[in-house]
Structures are given as structure tokens and as C-alpha cells.
Structure 1
Amino acid sequence: MARTSLPRSRPPAAAVLCVAALFACASGCTAGATASGEPAAARTATRAPAPTRTEDLQDAYQDVVQDVLPSVVQITTEDGLGSGVVYDDRGHIVTNAHVVGEGEEFEVLLATRQQPLAARLVAAYPDQDLAVIALDDPPDRLRPATFGDSRKVAVGQIVLAMGNPLGLSSSVTQGIVSAVGRSVSEGEGRATLGNMVQTSAAINPGNSGGALVNLSGQVIGIPTLAARDPGMGGGQAAGIGFAIPASTVTFLADQMIEHGRVVDSGQAALGVSVRTVLGDGFEPAGAAVVEVTDDGPADRAGLRPGDVVVELGGEPVTDVVSLAEALAAQRPDDTVSVRYARDGDKRDARVTLGEA
């Protein structure tokens, strides 16, 4: 598989080299010399204009767009449009599970072609909102993307989001990494995604499944969703988007390509089924345990049906979604504190988490 996951060897295009020259004036400087001792007219004539940081940054943007955009594709499904990223030269493409939906066959438009190509589903993993599709007849000159090291993603880092928002193919937006390690729920009954990259780069419908790219031309994440503002009737909150980190993408995509499914989720589990319970003011007050998996993490720690989980790993738990978000921030085999209520009393337990 000819997919690159190591950083490119070329230096970041945004690097700026500034050279300063100091001139000393010996005794006997002529009239008209400046304080530095050099005649002003001569200095103006011999010094070339220094490049500006704005020009260097613009060049970096253009280099990255030219390098990466051929790896970003448009995916047409029965339900609409989405984006994807060329994963290897065998025609595998990574995207979001919610982009492919229930579909099995798709049309893929490459940035370098006029006509779409047929593709089929390899596997989808809704629990992490990832999917892999494959071109039926991949062309000879595919451009697989380079996936970066998620551990090196830092707050403040400049990033570009590439995709097909609102059907506008090959669009690019820019922003920064606003936060890392976020746990985000896609909504009641849908996936809760852990270790997400938050970005200010605009993510609109159709951007899902595209590429979040650093200025070294490496894909550091797959844009997946934008935050919704309940105060705006659920409208999209500007400047708050989330991307699945590259390490999660490659970890799961390699499994889907090799096995046709995910065999190792890497997601932590408590070993319970739960429901949201309300407090005296009819506000969510915790996640009530409905069923405990025999010999699972919760069972071994002494939890039982009827207990109400109110905190996990130091994070408050008010409902089913917040419990899922707290678990998404953990890893299998982590040992965490769990606070729960039983018969009106608060209790604490240490739980070694399992795998979902």
C-alpha cells in the first residue's frame, strides 16, 4: 500500500529567513551620510526590498493547496454530496460514515478529472464516524494524501480545510487549531467522538470527510461536524468545527481495508447499558445503570442495576451523552474513578475500563 504517513522532507513553506546587515562608519564620513555612515542614496540603490511575512504565508497557502487538493474528492450518494481523501494508490478513499450513510455504491469526482468514477463501500464504522470506499477502476496517477502525526498538532497551528461545501467543489477555508482532545457527541443516539481536533476553519455541509491540513501539506484530521448553537435554534456556530485526528483515521482505516471491518476499536467501555434520569427540577441528573455486563468493568467494581453514575474520571455525568463523552476521553485498560448514587448515598469506585 503506497500511502505515506511520515512528514514530508521539505521544510515548512512558511519559514522566513531574515538577514540584517550592520554597517560601521569610520572617521571622516562625508556630508550627507546617515547615522549608519552610509550615504542614503547609495543604500537605497543597492538594497533589494525585503520579502514580507504576508507574501511568505501566502506562498505557503498556495503551495499546500496545490499539493493536497488533488487528494481531496467529491462523493455523491443517494442522499447528497460529501468529501473524501485519497488514502492509497489502490483507490481507497477515507470519509465519514455519515457521508456514505446506508449506501453501497457511489460516484467519486477526482479534482483532476471531469467525469465521476464508480466506487463501492469497503466498510463503515459509525461508532467513530469513519468509512472507507474503493474506486472500481482506479486511475494510474492517483495522489494519496500524506497523514501527519496527531501528537504534534498544537493549539494555534494554522490549518486549511479542504472539501466540497454546499456542492462547491475543491473549496478551501483557513483557520487555526483551537483545541485538541475534545470529546464531542453528534447527537442523541449517534456517535460520541473522542480526542477530536477543534478548529476555527469553516466546516459547512459537504465539507464532511474532507481534509484538515497543516502548512507542511499533511492531513492532520478529517473534518466531521460543526458545533450547533441551541440559542440560535440549533443553527451552526461560526468558527467551531471538529475533525477526527489523523492517528484515529489511519488506525481504523487500515483495519477496514485489511479485514473489511474494525477489529480493534480502541474505545473505552464501562460495561453497562444506561438511561438518563431527571432530578427534582426535571433536569438531567445522571446516567442510571439498566444492565451490567457479567464480569465486565462495572461488574468487577461492584456497580449494579439501579445505580446512578454522576461522575467518571473527574468529569460530571448528567445524562447518557455526557457519560459517553467522558468515556471517549479514556482508553481501554485505563483505571478511572466513578462516583455513583445508590439508595440516596454517594459512593466511589475504581474501575479498569474495557473495550467497546
Structure 2
Amino acid sequence: MRKPALYSPSHRAGPPKADARALPADEVAAVPEPAGRMRRFRLASARAASSPRVMWSAMALIAVLLVASVWHGGVNGPKALTQKDIDAAVLRTLTTQNLPSRAARAADKIRPAVVRVVSYGRNGEGKDVEQGVGTGVVITDKGIILTNLHVVQTALSIKVVYADGAESPATVTGAQPQNDLAVLQAQIIPDDLIAATMRSTNDLVPGEDVVAVGFPFGIGPSVSSGVISGFDRAFKSPEGVQEIGNLIQFDAAANPGNSGGPLVTMDGEVIGIVTGILNPTSHRTFVGIGFAVPIESAASAAGLPPF
């Protein structure tokens, strides 16, 4: 049976974990290492913590060392594998692998669920013409998509383009005007459609890293990264007459076309729907302040309160 939506449990902060870099000196390996080398080792270790490929490579190297130690032991028995040998194997793996950044891994996880939303109007000759491009995110594998209401509000017809290039007509099946949200239903649903995982915002704090994925100015999918700047913000676009409240403020770059796209954590879990940017001038370009509707409100627009 297909799952209607994917939710991630809230990652509430527990007791602080011990920082490996703050260990007493007598708990650190006895063999001194050059400062530059150890710094690279620590940075690489942190970046590779969630990379199975790198960890398997390290394990393979350790296995080779074990075999070599037994072979060289001869009649005197196997040579003991020291901590220094293990550290050297891990360091070699970490310094010879091209490790993706946390933002790259987050974008890679959410990208299959991000769609281009194209709205069509009609010109004076009675022909359908493209009138705007926005972004949407698939929240169930039955083809339910969240986007901004202003992306599709005046459209005579709507098309969504999936991550693999497949296209589908879509219809508006729900709206939450107070939060500038619209719910789309795709008419053609790929068998392997991947839905995003949604995550509560309850335990998030300003300063946490986030990624925005979308189609700014129709270009994309494009990825930008930044941090959460604040919560419970209010915003009214220059064209709008209604102020939207309870918004997430972030500084990952967003521009026209990003509207309706997901704001995600470094785990690739959706915490909000990008809805607007603040610019004190008449230009609709990013100056460092963007806003997103929290996923709790966004999912409820689709009748799926997840938390």
C-alpha cells in the first residue's frame, strides 16, 4: 500500500553531546600529528560522517591492513593493528575522496520531488501562452503538489514538469489564500514518483543551515544555501493586499520563480514553502531576506496536518 505522505519526527535537542574536539589531552592519541594534517582530518571526518561510500572505503582499507598484518606476522603470529594504523587508513580515505558538501547532499535528496510549475494564459489571438514559471514540491506519491497560490491563481491551465523531464497537466484542488498556498493534483503520475519528507519546525532555531531548490527566473532546478534568520515574521508583497504571518525568514538566495519551492534542512527534509522575498526597492531581486510558510501550515492546506 502506498504511503500518502512522509513525515520525519521532530529532532528535538536532547542532552548536549560530547565534542570530540574538546576531549582532555590524555584521551587523545599519544602519537602527535602535524597541526595542518590533523585539522584536515577533522574537517574531512565531519563532512564524511553521513557518506556511506567513504566509510565503506575506510573499512576496506582497514580490512587490507588486517590481512597484511597477518601475512607479515609469519611464525611469530599476527602483528597487532594499532590505532595509528587505523587512523592512517581513515585519513587516507578521507583525504583522497571527493566529498559532497552537506548542501549538495540535501539538494540531491529533495531534487526528485521538486517540479517546475508552468501557468498558461490566453493572448489576444485566443492562443494559450506561457505566463509564468514557479516551483512546486511533491508531498505524496499520488501526485499531490504544494506551490504558491500566486503562481497559479490566474492560470487557465497548468503544467508540471518532473525531475526526469516528464510532464503532466495539473489542476488546483485546494487553496489557503491566507498563506498564499495552492494544492495541485497532477493528472499523470510516474510509477517511480518520489515524494518529499516533511519535518516539523518546532525545534528549529535561527542559524540552522537550509537549502532552497527551485526555478529562479525559470532557470533550474537551482540550488542555494543559507541559514534560518528568524521565525514568526510577517510579509506583504508590493502587489499584495494581505499580510502573511508566522513565516520563516531565511537568507538562502531566492528570486521570482523560486515561489512554491521547498526550503529544506541539511537532511533534505522540507520545513517550508518559499513564498516571497523582501526588497526595499522596486526591483524583484534578492537582497538577503526571503520568507517561507512553515510546513505545518503548508501541509494542512492539502488536508495533511503532519505533526
- TM-score of the two chains, using structure 1 as the length reference: 0.58
Partner of 1:242: 291
Pick aligned residue for 2:159 from 107, 129, 145: 107
Pick aligned residue for 1:212 from 251, 257, 263: 263
SS state of the match for residue 162, structure 1?
Answer: strand
Which residue identity is paired with 1:90? K
Which residue identity is paired with 2:109? D
1:134 positional shift: 0.9
Q: Gapped runs of 5+ residues in structure 1? A: 10-14, 25-35, 257-356
Q: Is 1:3–1:144's contact at 8 Å kept on the other side of the alignment? A: yes
Q: Is 1:8–1:216's contact at 8 Å kept on the other side of the alignment? A: no
1:154 positional shift: 1.2
**Aligned positions of 1:178-217 closer than 5 A:** 178-187=229-238, 189-217=240-268
Partner of 1:316: none
Partners of 1:23 and 1:186 in 2: CA distance: 58
Partner of 1:133: 184
Partners of 1:16 and 1:108 in 2: CA distance: 46
Partners of 2:161 and 2:247 in 1: CA distance: 28
Max Rg structure: 1
Partner of 2:116: 74
Partner of 2:8: 6
Which residue identity is paired with 1:213? V
Partners of 1:158 and 1:37 in 2: CA distance: 35
Partner of 2:137: 85
Q: Is 1:155–1:176's contact at 8 Å kept on the other side of the alignment? A: yes
Partners of 2:42 and 2:189 in 1: CA distance: 43
Q: Is 1:75–1:106's contact at 8 Å kept on the other side of the alignment? A: yes
1:234 positional shift: 4.8
Partners of 2:239 and 2:282 in 1: CA distance: 16
Partner of 1:94: 146
Partners of 2:140 and 2:41 in 1: CA distance: 41
Partners of 1:191 and 1:244 in 2: CA distance: 14
1:22 positional shift: 5.0
Distance 1:255 1:120, change over 3 A: same
1:189 positional shift: 5.0
Partner of 1:292: none
1:7 positional shift: 3.3
Q: Gapped runs of 5+ residues in structure 2? A: 12-16, 49-99, 121-130
**Aligned positions of 1:266-345 closer than 5 A:** none
Bigger fraction of residues in strand: 1
Q: What is the CA deviation profile of residues 27-59 of structure 1, one whole-angstrom value per residue up to 9, with x for unaligned ones?
A: xxxxxxxxx986x7xx67xx9861316971853
SS state of the match for residue 193, structure 2?
Answer: coil
Partners of 2:217 and 2:252 in 1: CA distance: 15
Q: Identity over the aligned pairs, expressed in percent?
A: 31
Distance 1:8 1:178, change over 3 A: closer
The answer to whether the aligner puts 1:226 opposite 2:228 as a matched pair is no
Distance 1:212 1:189, change over 3 A: closer
1:237 positional shift: 5.0
SS state of the match for residue 151, structure 1?
Answer: coil
Q: Is 1:16–1:53's contact at 8 Å kept on the other side of the alignment? A: no
Pick aligned residue for 2:172 from 100, 103, 121: 121
- TM-score of the two chains, using structure 2 as the length reference: 0.67
Distance 1:188 1:105, change over 3 A: closer
Partner of 1:176: 227
Task: Tell me which of the two structures has the higher relative contact order, counting C-alpha pairs closer than 8 angstroms and 6 or more residues apart.
Answer: 2
Q: Is 1:209–1:223's contact at 8 Å kept on the other side of the alignment? A: yes
Partners of 1:124 and 1:242 in 2: CA distance: 19
Partners of 1:89 and 1:245 in 2: CA distance: 21
Pick aligned residue for 2:201 from 146, 150, 153: 150
Partners of 1:65 and 1:189 in 2: CA distance: 31
Partners of 2:160 and 2:284 in 1: CA distance: 29
Q: Is 1:104–1:120's contact at 8 Å kept on the other side of the alignment? A: no
Partners of 1:251 and 1:137 in 2: CA distance: 24
